[in-house]
Structure 1
């Protein structure tokens, strides 16, 4: 429905459309401009009071009625503000008001003037807890998409940086921005991302970026490996854009989505590039080694204690000195669940008690568990190594994906021995190879298909900046 020239009808209609009688924060104010009745609608929590007062003062001072003959003339001559638009469509006006824009109706005009003077409540752009670095900037993304786009724009001052705006959700109308560098990003990938976001038919993005990620790529439920890389660091997002990747920002979320993403991309970290090449290479190799260790340490140990005749003499110390009262496989599975249970308990523990809780869980419970005979000291040792090494993995979703694969390896090894271990390892490789990025690229590229030059750049920190654009 379009806006009418009758101001009385417009006020009554939009009062009903915005439920002003039920919503205390949706405010309307009737005033006069040069003898004509006018009305403004806005959301109280989004309005800037100082700017509103100055605009009202300017409106009261208008003396020339010719400036009010239509919305175009009024917006150009009577609104001393930068971000101004006009619209006559009800859905557009209601959506803009609820997103924080100030809507001005004037008697005799069949269009509304929209003044974007909104401000959103936000926290400071402090360094994120998950993506900390020893060096580099200390700012981080916040829940306001406009500020996140500005943090990227501050680092890439080029007109070729494109930040396209889209809306997702019939009810929520969540703002989404697609960021890419024209000339470096794959146009087909950009079109794919844009079309999938535009064609999304959902009521709301209830879980912000995770809901959008599931709309972009329909994951197979049995494949837990992440298809996206999330970051809360503006410098990391800007670096990926300059590489040719696409970054998606979602309003109300402090994390940016980076795509396409392979396994090697997920395991990269900002610290790799904030140190000299030799140090960055060392940190990266340590990360790859510990990731491999956490996946295969306990299954290999279980295989060796089940078949002690395969253990060479110099490795006999890894065997259990006393027969276990509880089967080692069951011990390992119980501890896998117990560690996650302790993590959840620590997450819900007040900060002031977290240290005490960790000491109780790690020392007292562990010591009594060994003394009571439930767990052997060897099992506790290897599971402690796995639990601590897991924190070396920067991506939480990848850590849990590898955990699920480790559980499959443990069960297969415990039931079938060597053939079970080989079958579990083959299944892990098959799951990784069959996984595809949003661009259709193999998840293990540049290992599969093999590209020696790119693989060297992924494993070693060569040169002074991020690696070149990924191949097809």
Structure 2
């Protein structure tokens, strides 16, 4: 159930009273030094100037301010005379002399601290009870490259980066709708991290939007150094024992734009190249951009291959273990399924060791320099695959089926759902080893019930399978052509359900005949 509009407002603590800017420049600098440690920090700098007979101080963080822009602006300011600075210096600078686009007035010292530590530059004038904030910041940034986890054969090669304003620009480039909204929040009492809630106003469900915004506003923590993952855990509590992700991550702007047009809400966090998509069902994690970059028939085939791989990663090992340990369950035609050369180690121990070995290889490859990653994989494959079977540590079939399952795990588009499926597979292996066929059956049933009871921001996690929706389920099983996908998912309760505007039939001419 979606949170009501006013469900959290009563719990929010009272805001601390702010300190107004004094007309004494020295007093302001002294108070700012007490809060920011200007004299103790080598990278928090001040620059004293005399502009039009007025003492002016610039306050900024070295490395976050674009020196070229500031230099050009100061060249204009140094030409001002006394008449250009009186009677109201801040107002005259703001409205006429400060030739820069992103400038705002502030009245409180706390606003100066927050803004300056975020990167903008503060301009304080002696005798003025306000200050100017000039957003001439510049952050270290890498080029928008294609994300490794969501590569496509044909399609755009840009991806989100760690700088928030670049990510919002990538979305706006694809959706030039005046109803697209990017609402700004700051999260973290100490970190003051920038967070954006993105949605299309006349499509997204207002209750869903309000629920997410209120949860973000209510976050009271010192900082979110882990970026989007910290935000996810703070706005979707109760997921500690639940391995299944309640949101979807993407690093592709086209995928983010597609979900916006369906009625989803995005959460963007500064310093994070991944965007949170809310809400997200289990089947959202099984879709990939490659399916929509190919012919619909090819897209259907790719989707079915992916579904088959995900199903194998979940059920192949428990099923084979069940049939290998209980041969009587197999018909005579499948009697060859089993172990050709038994090992001294119990079968369930072999599978658990094989699973741990695969994860050790995966983690070692991640933490190994790129030049050595291939060599690490080859060495691990030889040691675990070849030598382990020769010495009798693993049966050959265990290596074969574990390799197939590993491929199915890597076929899963979402690394979060792949990790959850890995834990489910281990759970099914253990209950099958303990209780054989009843354990497997009740284990699968228990997982399905658990998923059916889950919700992501009020949306059933197994929709459209539970609750059942035939039309929506068909669009998941089959990659529909674009002209057929003319409605948005009903479970999101979008304001505008139609995706395509049907053209009015052409009218016949009222008069006829040629001119005589």
CA shift, 1:237, in A, is: 0.5
Q: Secondary structure at the match of 1:417?
A: helix
| Cα distance in structure 2, aligned partners of 1:432 and 1:380 | 30
Asked if 1:443 is matched to 2:443, the reply is no
Give the Cα separation in 1 of the matches to 2:100 and 2:189. Answer: 30
* Structure 1 match to 2:141: 122
Equivalent residue for 2:152? Answer: 133
| 1:184-211 deviation digits (Å, cap 9, x = unpaired) | 1010000000000011111111211010
Separation of aligned partners in 1, 2:369 and 2:75: 50
Mapped partners of 1:376, 1:468: distance in 2: 51
CA deviation map 1:78-130 (0-9, x unaligned): 10011110111011110001111110111111100111111111111111111
Distance 1:52 1:73 in 2: 18
For the Cα contact (< 8 Å) 2:123–2:132, is it kept in 1?
Answer: yes
Deviations 1:347-366 (A, max 9, x none): 11121111111111112332
Quote the residue 1:433 is aligned against: 452
Partner of 1:272: 291
Counterpart-to-counterpart distance in 2, 1:406 and 1:11? 61
Decide whether aligned partners of structure 1 residues 46 and 287 sit closer, same or farther in structure 2, where only a CA change above 3 A counts: same
Hey, which bits of structure 1, 4+ residues long, moved more than 3 A? 465-468
Confirm whether residue 143 of structure 1 aligns to residue 162 of structure 2.
yes
Query: 1:11-90 counterparts in 2 under 5 A?
Result: 11-70=29-88, 71-90=90-109
Mapping 1:54-453, distance limit 5 Å = 54-70=72-88, 71-438=90-457, 440-453=458-471
For each residue in 1:1-22, what CA deviation from the matched residue of structure 2 results, as whole angstroms up to 9, or x when unmatched?
A: 1111122222232233221111
Higher deviation after alignment, 316-325 or 44-53 = 316-325
TM-score (norm 2): 0.89
Q: Quote the offset at 1:404 in angstroms.
A: 1.0
In structure 2, the gaps of 5 or more residues are: 1-18, 492-516
315-324 or 428-437, larger mean C-alpha shift:
315-324
Contact 2:318/2:428 (CA < 8 Å) preserved in 1?
yes
- Measure the CA separation in 1 of the matches of 2:487 and 2:411: 25
| Partner residue in 1 for 2:16 | none
- The answer on whether the counterparts of 2:233 and 2:239 sit within 8 Å (CA) in structure 1 is no
Deviation at 1:343, TM superposition (A): 1.1
Asked whether the equivalents of residues 42 and 97 of structure 1 are also in contact (C-alpha less than 8 Å), the reply is: yes
Q: TM-score, normalised by structure 1?
A: 0.97
**Partner Cα separation in structure 2 for residue 26 and residue 68 of structure 1:** 29
Range with greater deviation from structure 2 (348-357 or 230-239): 348-357
SS in 2 for 1:130: helix
User: Given that residues 67 and 77 in structure 1 are in contact (C-alpha distance below 8 angstroms), is that contact kept between their aligned partners in structure 2?
Assistant: no
| CA contact 1:69–1:109 (8 Å) conserved in 2 | no
The RMSD of aligned alpha carbons is 1.3
SS of residue matched to 1:73: helix
Greater CA deviation, 191-200 or 395-404?
Answer: 395-404
Q: CA deviation at 1:446?
A: 0.5
- 8 A contact 2:147–2:159 mirrored in 1: yes
Deviation, structure 1 residue 183: 1.0
Post-superposition shift, 1:66? Answer: 5.0
Superimposed CA distance per residue, residues 56-76 of structure 1 (whole angstroms, 9 cap, x where no aligned partner): 111111125254322223211
Residues 43 and 62 in structure 2, CA contact (< 8 A), matched pair in contact too:
yes
Superposed displacement of residue 276, structure 1: 1.2
- Aligned pair count reads 471
Aligned residue for 1:460? 478
Matches of 2:235 and 2:489 in 1, distance apart?
20
Q: Which moved more, 1:399-408 or 1:307-316?
A: 307-316
Instruction: Report deviation, 1:168.
Output: 0.6
Matched, 1:10 2:28: yes
Contact 1:243-1:467 at 8 Å conserved across structures = no
